[in-house]
Chains A and B, each alone.
Chain A
Amino acid sequence: MTTTIYVPCDTTARSLGADAVAARLTRAADRLGVAIQLKRNGSRGLFWLEPLVEVETAAGRVAYGPVAPTDVDALVEAGLFEGRQEHDLALGDIEAHPYLARQQRLTFSRIGLTDPLSLEDYTARQGFAGLQQALALTPQGIVDEVKASGLRGRGGAAFPTGIKWQTVHDTPAAQKYIVCNADEGDSGTFADRLVMECDPFMLIEGMTIAGLAVGATQGYIYLRSEYPLAQAMLDEAIVRAEAAGYLGDDILGSGQTFHLEVRLGAGAYICGEETSLLESLEGKRGLVRAKPPLPAIEGLFGQPTVVNNVLSLAAVPFILDQGGQAYADYGMGRSRGTLALQLAGNVARGGLVELAFGTTLRELMESFGGGTRSGRPLKAVQVGGPLGAYLPQNQWDTPLDYEAFAAFGGVVGHGGVVMFDDSVDMGAQARFAMEFCAVESCGKCTPCRIGAVRGVEVIDRIRAGDAADDNLVLLADLCETMVDGSLCAMGGMTPFPVQSVMKHFPDDLTRPLAEGGR
C-alpha cells in the first residue's frame, strides 16, 4: 500500500529546510522499500512548526513538526511511515491543535490541505463553486452579494469592496480591468503570499468573479519581485486554469471572457499604493497620482479599474458560494467577516491566524502567539506594517476592528502584528520609520520626500543629545506637516510610528546613545 506523505512547499517551510526534508524522506523510503507518495502541500500557516510533515493514515493525517532535515532518519526509525506517534516531534491530528481549532478559516479553509496546483484538490474542496454561482447571476447580482457581505478592502484602507465594484460596474467603457494588488510590502505580513503560494486558484477565481461583476475582460496581478515562488505558482496555476476552461475566452462554456496575467514589480514599496501601482503597470516610475479621478473611473490606461488586495479578492469565492450574509455573520460593528492576522517578529508561535473581527490584540499575542520567541517580556507591538503605530501595553486590550483601532490613531492595515521584546530600542525604531520613508518615497510630494530625510536628521540630533528639547518640538512639527501635507499614506502615515514612540516610549528616544541606544 502506498502511503501519502505531505511536506509543505511554501517559502517559509522551504526557508527552514522543507526541500531537504522531502529529499531525505524519499531516500529513507527507497532504502526501506516503503512505497510512499510524497505530496508537496501548501503550509497550514503554523510557521513555528514548519517544516510540518503529515502522514496519511487510516485514522486521518498524523503530523510531525518542526522537522529538521537531520530529524528525518530518527523519525522514520520511530515509525513515521506508519503514523506511529512515539517520537517527541509527533503532534497527532494537527487540526485538533488549539491554534487551528480556534480559528475561523473562511478564506484559508484549504491551505495546507491541498497540492496548491492541483485543480482536482481545489474543486474537491468547494473550488470554483463561487464562480459557478456567479455565472448564474447578473453582474449586478454579483455586486449585490459582495455588498451584502460587508467586505472591506483588506489591503489596509478598508474601503467597502462592493461600493468600489458598483462604481466600476456603473461606469461605461469598452475596456475595464481588474488589478490585484499583490505588492505585499508591509513587514510582518505574509497572508497574500500564502494565498498565492498555497491556494492560487482561489485568487484566480476571485478575480474572475470580479471581472464578471463589473464587465472587465482583462486582469493583472501586480506581484512584488521579492516573491519568486509566488510568481512561479501563479504562472502555472493560470496556465492550468486556462487549459481547464476556468479562465480565457469562454469560461466554463458561458461565453464570458476573462484573461489574467502576472506582472512583476521591481522592489518599490510605494507601488503598493494603488495609483502608484497603476503607473508602474503602465510602465512608468511609480509616482502617486492625485485623486480624483478615482481608479474606479479612470484607472489602468485611463479605463475603469477595480484595484483590490489579494485578500479582498480571495474572500470573494466564499462569499459567492455561501452567500454574502454567511460572511457578514462574522465580525463586529462595521468590520464584517474574518481578518487574516499574521503573527510575526519576536513571537514564539508565529503564523497565520484567521479570525472574525473583534478578538483583542492581547488574546492574539498571548494565547495564539505564546508570547515572545526570546522568552523576554513583550514591550511593543507594531500593527499594520511600517506605517502603523507602535502600541504599548495599555493598548493591547483593543479589539481588532477598523474603527476601534482608528479611535486611538492605530491601524489594522493588512493585519500584520510584529512583536518586540524588552531589548528593543524604540528610538532606533522611530529612526527606521523615517529612514524607510526616505528610501521608499516616490518623491512626488515635498512633505514626504524632504520630510523623511529631515526626520532622520532630527532624530539623530535628539539621540545625540544635541538640543534635544528643541529638536523634539521640531520633530513633532515635522510629523504634523507630513501627516497633513502628504499626497498619500506613505508620507501621511510614516509619522504614526514616530509619534507613538514620542508619546509612549519617550525615554528610549532621548536616552543618550552611550547608554545603550544605537
Chain B
Amino acid sequence: MSHASPQAADTWTSAQIQAVVDEYRSLPGAMLPTLHALQNRFGHIPEAAIPIVAEALRHTRAEVHGIISFYHHFRTQPPGRHVIQVCRAEACQAVGARALEAHVKSALGVDYHQTTADREFTLEPVYCLGNCACGPSLRVDDEIHGRMDAAGFDRLAAQLSATVVEVK
C-alpha cells in the first residue's frame, strides 16, 4: 500500500529500479502505477529512476519530472520512518484542526514537507481522509486516527518512537 514502510527505503540499484519499471510498463496508462510501485518499494522515487521511466514509457525526462511534481503524493526524497499527514480540510477545521496542526508542527519541530532531525517523522498536509464525522483526523503511514487532539497526538508520537527503540 501507498505508505507501507518499505524494508530498504533509501537504498536502491539501477537494476532494482529497472525491474520495477519492467513489471508495470506494459499496462495501459502505466505511468502512475509505475511511480506508485517505485515509491512503495524505495520509499521515494529516486532521481535515477527518471531516465529509466522515461525510456521505458517513451516520455521525455522533463515530462516524467513534470508528472512526479504535479502529484502531491509522490516524493523524490526519502521520508522519515513514519509519514504523518494532518488533515487540513474544512470538516476537520470545524473541530479544531488548525490548533492540532500548530501543535503537531511545534511538537515535532518541523513544518510541512519536512522530516525530523532524527528521521523519525515526515510531516505532510492532507486534504481530507474521508473521516469527516470524527475529526480532527490524521494518518500515520496507512493508519487513520480520529478525534485527535494535542494530548492524543503526544501519546501517539511517543508510542511510535517507542516502537523504534524496541526494534533496535
Of the residues B90, B127, B147, contact of A418 by C-beta under 8 Å: B90
B70 to chain A, nearest CB (A): 4
251-275 of chain A: CB within 8 A of chain B:
263-269
Known A266-B74, A267-B126; contact A228-B133, beta-carbon cutoff 8 A? no
Cβ contacts under 8 Å, A386 to chain B: 89-90, 127
Nearest B-chain residue to A184, judged by Cβ: B130
Cβ contacts under 8 Å, B72 to chain A: 266-268
Cβ contacts under 8 Å, A343 to chain B: 133
Q: Are B33 and A264 in contact (CB under 8 A)?
A: yes
Q: Are B128 and A346 in contact (CB under 8 A)?
A: no
User: How many of chain A's residues have a CB under 8 angstroms from any CB in B?
Assistant: 65
B23 to chain A, nearest CB (A): 15
Tell me the bound Cα distance from A285 to B31 in angstroms. Answer: 10
Cβ contacts under 8 Å, B147 to chain A: 15-16
Q: Are A432 and B90 in contact (CB under 8 A)?
A: yes
A259 to chain B, nearest CB (A): 11
Q: Are B128 and A186 in contact (CB under 8 A)?
A: yes
A-contact 0/1 string along B115-132, CB 8 Å cutoff = 000000000001111111
Q: Are A345 and B128 in contact (CB under 8 A)?
A: no
Nearest A-chain residue to B124, judged by Cβ: A267
Known A228-B142, A345-B135, A351-B133; contact A185-B95, beta-carbon cutoff 8 A? no
Cβ contacts under 8 Å, B93 to chain A: 345, 424, 429, 432
Of the residues A15, A188, A282, A342, contact of B145 by C-beta under 8 Å: A15
Cβ contacts under 8 Å, B144 to chain A: 11, 14-15
Cβ contacts under 8 Å, A427 to chain B: none
Identify whether the interface residues of B are mostly helix, strand, loop, or mixed: loop
B-contact 0/1 string along A269-297, CB 8 Å cutoff = 10000000000111111100000000000
Q: Are B142 and A190 in contact (CB under 8 A)?
A: no
Q: Are A283 and B57 in contact (CB under 8 A)?
A: yes
416-471 of chain A: CB within 8 A of chain B:
416, 418-421, 424, 428-429, 432, 436, 439-440, 442
Q: Are B28 and A301 in contact (CB under 8 A)?
A: yes
Tell me the bound Cα distance from A231 to B127 in angstroms. Answer: 18
Asked if A382 is an interface residue, CB under 8 A from chain B, the answer is: yes
Asked if B35 is an interface residue, CB under 8 A from chain A, the answer is: yes
Of the residues A228, A268, A301, contact of B3 by C-beta under 8 Å: A228
B9 to chain A, nearest CB (A): 18
Greatest chain A CB density within 10 A among B73, B74, B92 is at: B73
Q: Are B134 and A16 in contact (CB under 8 A)?
A: yes
222-248 of chain A: CB within 8 A of chain B:
225-229, 231-232
Q: Are B134 and A50 in contact (CB under 8 A)?
A: yes
Known A228-B2, A263-B33; contact A342-B132, beta-carbon cutoff 8 A? yes
Cβ contacts under 8 Å, B36 to chain A: 225, 264, 266
91-109 of chain B: CB within 8 A of chain A:
91-95, 98
Tell me the bound Cα distance from A345 to B91 in angstroms. Answer: 4
Tell me the bound Cα distance from A273 to B35 in angstroms. Answer: 21
Cβ contacts under 8 Å, A442 to chain B: 70
Q: Are A283 and B133 in contact (CB under 8 A)?
A: no
Cβ contacts under 8 Å, A16 to chain B: 134, 146-147
Asked if A176 is an interface residue, CB under 8 A from chain B, the answer is: no
Footprint of A on B, CB under 8 Å?
1-3, 28-33, 35-36, 57, 66-67, 70-74, 89-95, 98, 126-135, 137, 139, 142-147
Besides A266-B73, A421-B94, 20 other A-B contacts (C-beta < 8 A):
A11-B129, A12-B131, A12-B134, A15-B134, A15-B137, A15-B146, A187-B127, A189-B128, A189-B130, A266-B71, A266-B72, A280-B32, A283-B30, A344-B132, A344-B135, A346-B94, A373-B95, A374-B95, A416-B132, A418-B94
A–B complex contacts, Cβ < 8 Å, 26 sampled: A12-B146, A15-B131, A48-B134, A184-B130, A187-B90, A188-B132, A225-B36, A226-B128, A266-B71, A268-B70, A268-B71, A283-B31, A283-B57, A283-B67, A284-B31, A344-B91, A346-B94, A382-B90, A386-B89, A386-B127, A416-B91, A418-B91, A418-B132, A424-B93, A442-B70, A518-B98
Footprint of B on A, CB under 8 Å?
11-12, 14-16, 47-48, 50, 184-190, 192-193, 225-229, 231-232, 263-269, 280-286, 301, 342-347, 350-351, 373-374, 382, 386, 416, 418-421, 424, 428-429, 432, 436, 439-440, 442, 518
